[in-house]
Structure 1
Amino acid sequence: MLGVGGGIAAYKACEVLRRLTESGHDVQVLPTESALNFVGKATFEALSHNPVYTGVFEDVPEVAHVRIGKHADLVVVVPATADLLARAAHGNANDMLTGTLLTARCPVLMIPAMHTEMWEHPATRDNVALLRSRGIVVTEPASGRLTGTDTGKGRLADPVEIVDIARLLLARADALPRDMEGKRVVVSAGGTREPLDPVRYLGNRSSGKQGYALARVAAQRGAQVTLVSAHTVALPEPAGVDVVNVGTALELREAMHKAAADADIVVMAAAVADFRPVSLATHKIKKTDQDPDPVALTRNPDVLRELVVARSDGKFDPYIVGFAAETGDESGDVLTHARAKLARKGCDLLVVNAVGDGKAFEVEDNAGWLLAADGSERPIALGSKAQMAAGIWDFVMKSSTSRTVG
């Protein structure tokens, strides 16, 4: 069920609806009367292929607000305005949407959108806390351009992100507990690029999707998250996350050391280039009839290992998670190489992905293993990258290692 509140962001609910229906879901849209001032009923009916109701006196023989609520697998409210959050928190049932919210026994996901002042008002904060205490997932809003010329926190999350969170809750209703409140988390994501000349660079195939999923899920579980983002495939910034954009391995190194200084948890999910050119050509290297000079390379710093060493030196004390993208070869399989890497790096947890043949890089789903410093190993079944992120955070927050997170 897709509820639509009466805010200017209601037009983005159409994109959420389209993505849900195109991925095979049967969606019933329940807009408020105010929402129809922004998007007409015909639009929702055309995109959902279902009739649209707003009042409890429509489709009376079917008792629609009871039928829809009881049969829904997930309720998503986009946008959840300040008024709608207030009515839901206090159990009002004065239209089809709020009546259905009272009959729903499935996960409920509310995506807020409003002006910053409204989001920060004590009444709204109390209503959000009350809804969350009942198990309703109320996400953190994004920051950015609002109605008119205003900018701040309260912008609707990107539709791609909303659908990703919805997909996560359909797979795991308990994936977003508020168990990370008070935690300061740093996540790196994407792939670094090492310039060769003004046109070319050395890089890798990392899309950044797994790191972004980790940041997104942590923020929606209550953490204060900093995302150090190298080059990605034009991913929307996760709502409620502070993003620091970097390009090269040296830039990522500087940003990670700075952000880790007061972090409780550090996750190195970025694919950092192992090498960079010794020198940067000031002009584009041209084709010639002769063989070009070989490109001299120098090794980049091992950022993950540096963070572990800095912790050992007492500079900070976070729980540190590393990532390993591995392939098997004649000397061993994926896990053999991963175990050796865990021993070299010295981090608390290593997330291992088998790469190649359409695995891990540039795909929507992921699988792998969790290798902990205490020797325990746990497989991660194939699922969305958000599901993997939730599983990683479950392990980190409930880890049986001797370290205390935070």
Structure 2
Amino acid sequence: MTRDPFHPATPRSLPSLEEIVFTRGSGADLWDLQGRRYTDFVCGYGPVVLGHGHPVVAEEVYRQLRSGTLYPAAGRPLRDFLDTLSGLFPEQSGALLLKTGSEAVGAAMRLARHRTGRDLVLRLGFHGWHDQVISPHVNWHRFDHSQRRSARPLGVPGIYGSAVRVWHGDEVDDLVETVRSTPDLAAVVVDPVELPLPLADSAKRVLEAAHEVGALLVLDESKTCLRLGPGGAQERLGVTADVLVLGKAIANGLPLAVVLADPSLTAQSRRLRIRGTFSNELTSVAAASATLRVLREEKVHERLERTGTALIDAVNAALRSDGLDDRIAAVPYHWPCMPYLHFRNVAETERTDFYARLVRHGVLLLPNHMNFVSAAHGEAHVQHAVRAIRATVQDMRGEGLLEPHGGTGNE
């Protein structure tokens, strides 16, 4: 069966999967209809932090399914989960539950506009697909900022440009000056992976600048939530955001996102009409409670860092051995738990071919995007990835590709 690469079931950044239908996942691996096995570093674009089908999470979800999934008011599992969150984030103990990061960022922006009485938002990073935060769209996840391009997605009205502005640059001084000089600013919405280096200094200076002009800092931790430790990037960077968005890994692959803020602000959600039919859905809450418990008891973030570092080091050693270390490098996307393949002087067509061949060798990596390690990845998965990369290099060189002067593109 050949799948149309524009079919909704085909991830656009992984066109090499267009002919694959996955049937199951376990730990760090996936299997397709033909029984072929793949090591998965996509992890659902980040949510699968413990591994596919984690037994503790699966058992909690099954238990909740037997007890019902949607009550007319908050049930005990939800109250327990919110208590856990308030223990982790005592200065942001008010919580709103939604299903996706896109929803959560929209809710956070509405809260900020209500608190400040202003409309304008400055955003830094990718914050979901909703109209007001997708246009203009920037290739945010390209490691080389010089290769980023912006475009207006089809079907998005231009009117949002007057309410949401975009900053994408390299210098924190410019970012701080932009915050200070933007009139009537309600909020600065920041994806921490897109802050200028050094990250901690940038985060603190942006928070100070926002407060100077009476705006709120919204920290969108959809990617970094729990992967960097229970306190996430906020704890690592030494800041306390006015509004914090958690998503992706919080429920190990089930749909859940959380907005945290001062309870006096989140209490306004009813007046602000921030609510959906499935806001109190409990299977995702059960999954999140189980995920948090495992992450904390097993110090999963430390394992993710070790595995990511081992993967980066092993891939780079293999590339040096093959004489390609000046063309391809494995790097941490700020943190080793999110490894990235950085290409230099390699044509776009060859990069696309590289990822497609990796799939045929049984390894799933995201092009132009950080990848993710899970608690289920181990030394065997690292070595499998190295063998697949070396086999891909050998295949391509056998066809006259990836030669020392064979490309002109950068990433």
TM category (shorter chain) comes to under 0.3
TM-score, with normalisation over the residues of structure 1?
0.27
TM-score, with normalisation over the residues of structure 2?
0.27
| Structure in which a larger fraction of residues adopt strand | 1
The structure with more radius of gyration? 1
| Structure in which a larger fraction of residues adopt helix | 2
